[in-house]
Amino acid sequence: MLRATFVLAAVLLLSVVMHAQQSAAGPPVTVTKLKDSVYWVRGGGGSNDGVGSNNGFIVGKMGVIVVDTKTTADVEKLVIAEIAKVTPKPVDAVILTHSDEDHVGGLPAFPMGRRIIAQENSKNDMERAAKLGFEPCVGCRTLGLLTPSQDRLPTETFEKKKELNIDGVRIRLYHWAPGHTSGDTVVYLPDKKFVFAGDLLVNTRPDPLIHTEKNGSAAGWIENAREMLGLDADTYLTGHGTVMSKDDLRQKLELVQDKYKKVKDMVAQGKTLEEVKISFGLPTGLAGATTEPPAVILIEVMYKEASGTPPAAGDFRRE
């Protein structure tokens, strides 16, 4: 009887451990075809939402272009295996939408010398993280994800705009302004009317997150959203969540613009930051806390920008 009880307890313990491991790993990596030759990769865990970042790839004439990676090389290898189920063509290039580790941490899964393209500020952020050995933000998991990636940093950078033709795929890269980070890249496929937006667009919550530690900007986010809206596109892949339509983007832009206008009006009236937060029904007394929700961070950033005191670059937060 005692032996049976012990065996049962061991089985239950093993089940709990396996479930915990599966939960930590997040949902499995899955691939969804969104347009002809354009695919959405989701799952794999490694982000605060427990699901994982959205990534994608485009199949060209001779090879594959990957947009963003998962958080670790091990998970990105699962993505590479999924790509192989779609096409035997090799990955020729990787384009990064920004520098957060849940979008670049999988780079070591690719061979050295692979073509990696990013906005110049993103490369600077990645170099800083590689030197530090962790993503530089208070409260982050100091996993050292970027330390082994010093030999997988971007091989090509651009400042404002870059036009590419990779394996017959026409690609336009845009950096209009700092938004989520100082190095956001919008990847536009004009022939597909498709946009990879990275974390500029996230629909797992109503408010965009502004990384002040990476010199992001609320005003810049609005500029990016306006410019994306002006593209001849009908599908926008978010950094987290599901795809968005042009109408979805328009609604999100209107929401953020309305908040910014209200904040500016209250700043003009001499309202304090705490008073502004209260007017939006937000908690007060959290300034600088690593657990602040994006809605609070957004109002803080808007207030500081509207009052002429931008957030300090050392104010660390993360997606």
pLDDT at 256 over 80: yes
What does DSSP say about strands 115-119 and 156-158: parallel, antiparallel, or unpaired?
Answer: parallel
- pLDDT band (50, 70, 90) for residue 128: confident
Closest Cα partner for 150 from 94, 107, 92, 97?
Answer: 107
- pLDDT band (50, 70, 90) for residue 193: very high
pLDDT for 162 equals 98
Q: Are 100 and 135 in contact (CB under 8 A)?
A: yes
pLDDT for 42 equals 95
What count of residues does the chain have?
Answer: 319
Two structure tokens written together for 270: 């001499």
61 contacts: CB under 8 Å, gap ≥ 6: 167, 168
CA–CA gap between residue 63 and residue 139 (Å, rounded): 39
Work out the mean pLDDT of the chain and round it to a whole number.
85
CA–CA gap between residue 42 and residue 197 (Å, rounded): 14
Q: In whole angstroms, how far apart are CA 188 and each of 82, 206, 210, 280, 302?
A: 23, 23, 22, 35, 28
Instruction: Give the mean pLDDT of 235-260.
Output: 98
CA–CA gap between residue 303 and residue 277 (Å, rounded): 10
pLDDT for 131 equals 78
pLDDT for 51 equals 86
Instruction: Write out pLDDT tens, residues 15-59.
Output: 333 333 333 467 999 999 999 999 999 999 877 777 889 999 999
pLDDT at 146 over 60: no
pLDDT for 136 equals 58
pLDDT for 64 equals 98
Percent of the chain scoring above 90 in pLDDT? 69
- pLDDT band (50, 70, 90) for residue 262: very high
Instruction: Write out pLDDT tens, residues 85-113.
Output: 999 999 999 999 999 989 999 999 999 98
Q: Are 117 and 155 in contact (CB under 8 A)?
A: yes
Tell me the domain boundaries of the chain: 27-306
Considering the domain 27-306, what is its CATH architecture? 4-Layer Sandwich (3.60)
- pLDDT band (50, 70, 90) for residue 291: low
pLDDT at 9 over 50: no
pLDDT at 303 over 60: yes
Instruction: Give the mean pLDDT of 283-287.
Output: 69
Q: Are 71 and 105 in contact (CB under 8 A)?
A: yes
Instruction: Write out pLDDT tens, residues 208-229.
Output: 999 988 899 999 999 999 999 9
pLDDT for 276 equals 96
Mapping DSSP to helix (H, G, I), strand (E, B) and coil, where does residue 264 land? Answer: helix
Q: Chain centroid to CA 122: how far?
A: 12
Write down the pTM of the prediction.
0.86
CA–CA gap between residue 15 and residue 41 (Å, rounded): 28
pLDDT for 129 equals 81
The dihedral built from the CA positions of residue 207, 219, 248 and 65, taken in this order, carries a sign that is negative
Closest Cα partner for 181 from 143, 218, 227?
Answer: 218
Percent of the chain scoring above 70 in pLDDT? 81
pLDDT for 316 equals 42
Instruction: Give the mean pLDDT of 219-246.
Output: 98
pLDDT at 279 over 50: yes
pLDDT for 45 equals 84
Mapping DSSP to helix (H, G, I), strand (E, B) and coil, where does residue 283 land? Answer: coil
